[in-house]
Amino acid sequence: MGGGGSGRLLFTGALYQLVPYIEGTVELLRSLERAEGVSWAALRAARVASRRLDLSLLVRPDPELVEWSRRVLRSMARLLLASGAEFDYVPELSDMYSGALLRDYGMAEAFRRHAERVVRAVRSAGYEELIVVDPHTMDTVTRGYQEVLGEGLRAVNYMELVRPTARRGLAATVHDSCVYARKLGIVDRPRELLREAGVNVTEVSRSGRWTYCCGGPLEALLPSLAQAVAATRVRELAGAGDTAITMCPICYVNLRRASRSSGVPIRLLDLAEVIGGE
Amino acid sequence: MSDELLEGYARAILRALEDPDLQEALHTYVPGSEERVRRFLESRPDIVQLAREVKAIKEYSIAHMDELIDEAMRSLKSVNAVPHYAADAREARELALSLVGRGKVVVMSKSMTAEELGIREALEEAGNEVWETDLGQLLVQLEGGKPMHSIAPAIHMTVARVAQLLRDRLGLDVSPSDAPQQMVAKVREFLRSKFVSADVGISGGNALAAREGALLLVENEGNIRMVTNLPRLHIAFVGVEKLVPTMLDAFKVILVQAAFAGLYPPTYVSLIAGPSSTGDIGHRRVYGAHGPVEVHVVLVDHGRRAAAKDVVLREQLRCIRCGYCQFVCPVWGQVANNWGGSTYGGPMGVNWTAITEGVDRGAALAMLCLGCGRCDVACPVEIPISGILADLKRRFTSSL
Ligand code: SF4
């Protein structure tokens, strides 16, 4: 990876990397939700988001998730390379946060400023197009930036550029990301990739355009509610089989926690691990 | 202020998450309802197409609201109904009190608008005996709570709770082991006695045709026919967003409403254009046959006309209250209308709270939306529900 002049920047938006910190943060918020009143949790979310997303000061990352997120990102990079896609990886640019959470919490001004910073950095380094790896970053840098700046960044999803490098004798169900399925209309591509990789996909009734939320967007504001939503989804997915495939780090971490806390076992795998896994 | 509001709403949600009856009801009932409606709609592209038409009808109607109000006032008079206009809930309650008076027996058909305006409470306070006649809404009345869904108001109650309410509050001889059929029979007997003795019937309206002055109501239980037919005085409270140009438009609205509510074909449709009359004796028209002698229609603003001028909230006024967005919403599916204001809850209900109770209340509630967008996909009239909620979030955070 790396090098220069491809015109395409791999842009992780740091979301996979942030996920290991979420687990601890949510536990922290949840205990405060009970102990000190909910307003604290709400304001905290707003303030954390408005300053900087530096959760590392609050909690220690979960080492298992750190390893998972590295593994998934490595799989994505390998898949791209194996498919002959040309791109640059410039850590200080590629791992800039997109500002997704600021937008989700309606912090319009902070989000606009952040969007400007990202766009300026990407453009001044000479990149025309991003390769993105998660739904929230994709929606944020395209539609989100468009909303506040009048012009979004051009972005292509890694799934569009790759072919599977692994073959799996696996039966699994798919947990579509709300953002992919409903905001970006990406429903068929993950299934094509999975089928090509030999995965036998069974569908739950709430899938594709009708996919059910993992609860993630509320985890910083009202973790109990987020978990109730996640637990409902885990029960549904587990009813279809013992393995579910996610394609968003927020979905992954929420469903994983819900599976543990509700005692409904399910094996969760990221799409990139499955089609290009180590 | 906003922050305290959010805290209060969030507490109600946390309580609801720990209510075992509500949790059981929602988790067993809701996913199946969602799927049933989806399957039905997949088999009926004609209805989905009709919904597109209704979207256009409602868009036109919201944009021409003031003209339609004027036209409806005229046409209601021309069919010998008495039109009224209430700018807010207080005016609507005053009208109700002046038309009903005191010491009367009043039967009501379920109306979210009447609920929003506090009509029942006002009439009761003035010394009237007031009964909800939709079974679910009657249970809500007996409980002293609020409806949990626009078409399934008592979805939060177990059979045991229902039996207890009917026994304790109405003195009916029912037990939790009775089949629902038996309970319904007992309630039917009770309500029959109220229908026949009622002085006044109060309804809402699913659509009101401005050209013809005709009100359309759709239902399954058959109680609306009784409420609107048996008492000699009928009063309908209709939000001004329910106005559409013609009777044909109004029919389209109610068919789509019923289908997306999972009740297709609806069992009954009532069309009311003025008081009952006969011309059979001496060929002279005489008012008051079997139906009411007097029909009053109260067109209610209460935030709607201001919302029609708000570029974002305006879109929510297209809502035909089918409640499909509620059934598909993951947050509603956990806590029902406990995520909501004093009347409306769930995705559409938070936006309606902003319209009827003030933007600050709706905005605090909107913070608890996942933004997942299932509601947008469900809505027959393509209201960008989650987009409106996102805008309310922006209003909330900018007020901090
Ligand atoms: S917002 Fe749409 S889906 Fe929800 S109740 Fe209104 S019309 Fe039905």
Domain end, chosen from B272, B302, B332, is at: B302
**What confidence tier does B286 reach under pLDDT thresholds 50, 70, 90?**
very high
Q: With the C-alpha atoms ordered A233, A235, A238, A243, is the resulting torsion angle positive or negative?
A: positive
pLDDT at B279 (0 to 100): 92
Q: Which helix (H) or strand (E) holds A141?
A: none
- The DSSP bridge partners found for residue B217 are B270
Helix (H, G, I), strand (E, B) or coil at B191: helix
For residue B346, the ligand 1 atom closest to its alpha carbon is: 4
Give the Cα separation of A249 and A69 in Å (integer).
Answer: 8
Q: CB-based contact (8 Å) between A222 and chain B? A: yes
Distances (CA, A) of A75 to A200, A247, B74: 21, 13, 70
Q: How many angstroms away from the CA of A33 is the closest CA of chain B?
A: 10
Q: How far apart are CA B80 and CA B155, in angstroms?
A: 39
The CA distance from B33 to B53, in Å, is 25
Four-residue CA torsion sign, B380, B382, B387, B392: negative
Residue B92's pLDDT is 98
Within a domain: B127: yes
Q: Which residue has the higher pLDDT, B371 or B6?
A: B371
Cβ–Cβ of B14/A39 closer than 8 Å? Answer: no
**pLDDT tens column, B69-128:** 999 999 999 999 999 999 999 999 999 999 999 999 999 999 999 999 999 999 999 999
Residue B85: give its domain's CATH number.
Answer: 3.40.50.10420
Max Cα–Cα distance, chain A, nearest Å: 54
B329 and B283 within one domain:
no
Residues of A in contact with B14 (CB under 8 A): 33, 38, 222, 224-225
Task: Count other Cβ atoms within 10 Å, centred on residue B101.
Answer: 14
Same domain, B223 and B323: no
pLDDT at B383 over 50: yes
Q: Determine the distance separating the centroid of ligand 1 and the alpha carbon of A206, expressed in angstroms.
A: 19
Is B374–A183 a contact, with Cβ atoms under 8 angstroms apart?
Answer: no
Q: What angle do CA A13, A212, B12 make, to 5 degrees?
A: 100
- What region, left, alpha or beta, does residue A77 occupy, with left being phi > 0 and alpha being psi -120 to 50 degrees? alpha
Q: Which residues pair with A11 in a beta bridge?
A: A132
User: Is the same domain home to B154 and B269?
Assistant: yes
Interface check B400 vs A, CB under 8 A = yes
pLDDT in tens, B134-143: 999 999 999 9
Q: Does B172 touch chain A (CB under 8 A)?
A: no
CB-count exposure of residue B254 (10 Å: 0-12, 13-18, 19+): buried
pLDDT digits (tens, 9 = 90+) for B159-199: 888 999 999 999 999 998 999 899 999 999 999 999 999 99
From A264, A121, A106, select the one nearest B386 (Cα to Cα): A106
Q: Are residues B262 and B168 in the same domain?
A: yes
Confidence of residue B5 (pLDDT cuts 50, 70, 90): confident
Residue B152 pLDDT = 84
Domain finish residue from B270, B302, B334 = B302
Closest residue (by CA) to atom 6 of ligand 1?
A: B319
Angle between helices B159-170 and B135-143 (to 10 degrees): 70
- Give yes or no for B36 touching A (CB within 8 A): no
- Res A55: pLDDT: 47
Interface contact A42-B38, CB threshold 8 A: no
Q: How many structural domains does chain B have? A: 2
Do the domain assignments include residue B219? yes
Of the candidates B275, B257, B260, the residue with the CA atom closest to the CA atom of residue B218: B257
Residues B182, B61: one domain?
A: yes
Both B7 and B135 in one domain: the answer is: no
Whole-number Å distance between alpha carbons of B387 and B313:
10
The answer to the question of residue B197 being in a domain is yes
Looking at the structure, do residues B284 and B359 belong to the same domain, yes or no?
Answer: no
Tell me the whole-structure pTM to 2 decimals.
Answer: 0.93
- A206 and B CB contact within 8 Å: yes
Chain B partners within 8 Å of A38 (Cβ): 6-7, 10-11, 14
Of B302, B333, B361, the one marking the end of a domain is B302
For atom 2 of ligand 1, the residue with the nearest CA is B379
Higher-pLDDT residue of A59 and B291 is B291
CA distance A126 to A128: 7
Of A105, A212, A233, the CB nearest to B393: A105
User: How much is the pLDDT for A39?
Assistant: 46
Would you give the DSSP letter of residue A221? T
**Nearest chain B CA: its distance from A135 CA (Å):** 12
| pLDDT(B43) > 60 | yes
B-chain CB neighbours of A229 within 8 Å are 330-331, 333-334, 370
Amino acid (one-letter) located at B7: E
The residue in chain A having the minimum alpha-carbon distance to the alpha carbon of residue B34 is A206
Mutate to test the interface with A, among B29, B397, B398 (most CBs of A within 10 A): B397
Query: Distance from the CA of B376 to the center of ligand 1, in angstroms?
Result: 9
Q: Which residue, A222, A215, A164, A220, is CA-closest to A194?
A: A164
Assigned domain for B161 exists: yes
Using an 8 Å Cβ cutoff, are A141 and A152 in contact? yes
Q: Give chain B's mean pLDDT.
A: 95
Q: Cα(A245)–Cα(A174) distance, rounded to whole angstroms?
A: 5
Q: Does B24 touch chain A (CB under 8 A)?
A: no
Model pLDDT, residue A102: 83
Q: Using the predicted structure, report yes or no on whether residue B201 has a pLDDT greater than 80.
A: yes
Instruction: Reply yes or no on whether the pLDDT at B27 is more than 70.
Output: yes
Q: Which two tokens stand for residue A63?
A: 């080492």
> Quick check: is B21 in a domain?
yes
Q: What is the CATH number of the domain that holds B34?
A: 1.10.1060
What span, in angstroms and rounded, lies between the C-alpha atoms of B56 and B59? Answer: 5
Distance to chain A for B5, nearest Cα, Å: 9
CA distance B115 to chain A (A): 28
Tell me what the mean pLDDT of segment B284-288 comes to.
92
Q: Is residue B112 domain-shared with residue B227, that is, in the same domain?
A: yes
Give, in order, the Cα–Cα distances in Å from A124 to each of A7, B2, B20, B313. 12, 41, 56, 39
Element (H, E) at B337: none
Residues of B in contact with A224 (CB under 8 A): 14, 17
Q: Does B307 map to a domain?
A: no
Which segments in chain A show pLDDT lower than 70?
1-5, 23-59, 278
Q: Let me know whether B38 and B66 are in one domain.
A: no
Do B292 and B333 fall within a single domain?
no
**Of B217, B219, B210, B201, nearest in space to B299 by CA:** B210
Question: Structural domain of residue B177, as residue ranges?
Answer: 51-302
Q: Relative to the CA of B320, which ligand 1 atom is closest?
A: 7
Q: Is residue B131 domain-resident? A: yes
Same domain, B275 and B318: no
B residues 105..164 contacting A (CB < 8 A): none
Task: Return the residue matching tokens 């339609």.
Answer: B68
A49 in contact with chain B, both atoms CB, cutoff 8 A: no
Contact assignment for B6 to A38 by CB distance below 8 Å: yes
Same domain, B221 and B277: yes
Evaluate whether residue B12 is within a structural domain.
yes
Query: Which residues have any ligand 1 atom within 6 Å of their CB?
Result: B 260, 319-325, 348, 378-381, 383, 385
- Two structure tokens written together for A80: 């791209």
Residue B1 contacts A, CB cutoff 8 Å = no
Of B6, B370, B396, the CB nearest to A213: B370
Instruction: Name every residue whose Cβ is closer than 8 Å to that of residue B28 and which is 6 or more positions away in sequence.
Output: none
